[in-house]
């Protein structure tokens, strides 16, 4: 059994904050590099609302919680890995001497940090929408599209790029673009939508209807019911944790919201701090998150190896 982190006298080589696809992938590289690493995880991955994850190598259709549990089990076999079931409330310091404070009070010290803290989706305030998020109200058709193939599909206008999304969704089924009070696309975009067979519905939506988390119809404010199996939207995103900002990491505008600036090795603008996963990339899915974690973990290990040599 691993000792309690409070009894671990020396600083960790690295603390990974976030224990989903990116964080666990980073920790695995460090564990196999024979470094002591702590993984802090509050158990709230972004895709916890989904019943299945699709498109991930060898795991197509697997339940996200089971995938994470299996990865944790594999990682727990390494005696130099420590799991901390908590949330990091603060992180300060500099390369070689970081301090991470847990919500429960204890502090962990580390030479390097990996931020795999993820992002939070800000969903539109619409009756029946949040309850169906991840099941029949969706973001990515590559992750959740094939299963609805041929069924009536919708796109909710939330950003200027929603028309482009509607053009793409037609690959999976007949598509309606719900403007929900947003402006009508310009003539050029309307022509493209027409060529792809997209129906334009300008009326506002009153409620999404269906049994439990399924979607059966979009009910409009004028009382009309439009049969619908799935509704796609592009939500605005925000950082799920304030730690990157508190550490002084640089940000840039991503497709959906701010993202942490990283280089090719997933190093942030703050020496010794690396970032991986949805919080540090514009395009999101489980495969990219895991791959970023591998890159970050290996880069952290390399930085630890060569730190002393470079100083000499």
Question: Quick one: pLDDT band at residue 7, thresholds 50, 70, 90?
Answer: very low
Mean pLDDT (the chain, rounded)? 93
CATH number of the domain at 142, please. 3.50.50.60
Annotate 30-62 with DSSP letters as a single string. HHHTT--EEEEE-S--GGGG-S-B-SSTT-TTB
Q: Are 225 and 247 contained in the same domain?
A: no
Q: Are 128 and 116 contained in the same domain?
A: no
Q: Are 15 and 91 contained in the same domain?
A: yes
Q: Are 188 and 284 contained in the same domain?
A: no
* pLDDT greater than 60 at residue 5: no
* pLDDT greater than 70 at residue 311: no
128 exposure class (CB count in 10 Å sphere: 0-12, 13-18, 19+): buried
DSSP, res 71: H
* pLDDT greater than 60 at residue 4: no
Q: Within 10 A of 83 (CB to CB), how many other CB atoms are there? A: 17
Where a domain ends, among 187, 204, 232? 232
pLDDT digits (tens, 9 = 90+) for 91-120: 999 999 999 999 999 999 999 999 999 999
Q: What is the pTM of this model?
A: 0.92
pLDDT digits (tens, 9 = 90+) for 210-250: 999 999 999 999 999 999 999 999 999 999 999 999 999 99
Distance CA 215, CA 231 (A): 8
pLDDT digits (tens, 9 = 90+) for 57-75: 888 888 888 989 999 999 9
Q: Are 206 and 280 contained in the same domain?
A: no
Q: Are 158 and 225 contained in the same domain?
A: yes
Q: Are 111 and 135 contained in the same domain?
A: no
Where a domain ends, among 186, 215, 232? 232
Domain count, the chain: 2
Where a domain ends, among 232, 264, 293? 232
What is the pLDDT, as a whole number, of residue 161?
Answer: 85
SS3 242: coil
Q: Are 149 and 80 contained in the same domain?
A: no
Highest mean pLDDT among 37-46, 61-70, 174-183: 174-183
Q: Which residue has the tokens 């390097």?
A: 112
Q: Are 181 and 263 contained in the same domain?
A: no
Domain with 46 in it:
5-121+236-311
Q: Within 10 A of 18 (CB to CB), how many other CB atoms are there? A: 33
Q: Apex CA 168: angle with CA 291 and CA 189, to 5°?
A: 130
């Amino acid at each position: 059994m691993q000792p309690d982190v409070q009894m671990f006298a020396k600083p960790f080589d690295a603390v990974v904050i976030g224990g989903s696809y990116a964080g666990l992938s980073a920790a695995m590289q460090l564990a196999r590099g024979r470094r002591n690493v702590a993984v802090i995880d509050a158990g709230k991955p972004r895709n916890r609302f989904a019943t299945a994850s699709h498109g991930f190598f060898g795991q197509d259709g697997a339940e996200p919680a089971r995938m994470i549990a299996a990865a944790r089990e594999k990682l727990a076999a390494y005696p130099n890995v420590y799991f901390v079931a908590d949330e990091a409330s603060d992180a300060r310091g500099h390369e070689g001497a970081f301090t991470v404070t847990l919500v429960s009070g204890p502090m962990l010290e580390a030479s390097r940090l990996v931020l795999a803290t993820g992002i939070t989706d800000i969903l539109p305030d619409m009756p029946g929408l949040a309850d169906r998020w991840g099941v029949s109200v969706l973001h990515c058709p590559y992750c959740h599209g094939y299963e609805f193939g041929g069924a009536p599909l919708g796109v909710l206008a939330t950003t200027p790029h929603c028309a482009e999304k509607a053009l793409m969704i037609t690959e999976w089924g007949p598509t309606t673009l719900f403007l929900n009070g947003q402006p009508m696309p310009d003539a050029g975009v309307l022509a493209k939508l027409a060529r792809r067979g997209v129906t334009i519905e300008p009326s506002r939506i009153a409620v999404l209807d269906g049994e439990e988390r399924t979607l059966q119809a979009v009910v409009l404010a004028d009382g009309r019911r439009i049969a619908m199996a799935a509704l796609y939207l592009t939500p605005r995103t925000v950082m799920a944790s304030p730690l990157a900002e508190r550490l002084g990491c640089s940000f840039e505008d991503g497709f959906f919201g701010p993202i942490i600036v990283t280089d090719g090795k997933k190093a942030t603008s703050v020496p010794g701090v690396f970032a991986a996963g949805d919080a540090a990339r514009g395009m999101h899915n489980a495969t990219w998150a895991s791959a970023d974690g591998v890159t970050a973990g290996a880069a952290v290990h390399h930085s630890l190896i060569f730190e002393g040599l470079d100083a000499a």
